Amino acid sequence: MTLTIPLILLLAVVVGLLLRFRAVGAGAAVVVALFGFYLAHTGAADTVNQLVTAVTDAVPGIGR
């Protein structure tokens, strides 16, 4: 059985934990979210998407 979790859900949990344990402030979390939003609308979006896809495809193969 394969369990898939959307990457955005994992990132949201990480940001939530960082806020909960006061590792970052609310302002920094908003700035990072806005940066990601605007980065998605640039020419770098395809490159970032390919990089994330390559990493997520490689992770399951590390333990084999």
Give a yes or no: residue 64 inside a domain. no
Give a yes or no: residue 40 inside a domain. yes
Q: Is 62's pLDDT higher than 80? A: no
Residue 1 to residue 21: CA distance in whole angstroms: 33
Q: What is the pLDDT of residue 27?
A: 92
Q: What is the pLDDT of residue 56?
A: 86
- Count helices and strands (H / E) in the chain: 3, 0
**Each residue of 1-60: pLDDT tens digit?**
566 678 888 888 998 898 899 998 999 989 888 888 888 899 998 998 899 889 888 887
Number of domains in the chain: 1
- Give the structural domain span for 20: 14-57
Give a yes or no: residue 6 inside a domain. no
Give a yes or no: residue 32 inside a domain. yes
In 14-46, which positions are buried (b, 16+ CB within 10 angstroms) versus exposed (e)? ebeeeeeeeeeeeeeeeeeeeeeeeeeeeeeee
Give a yes or no: residue 23 inside a domain. yes
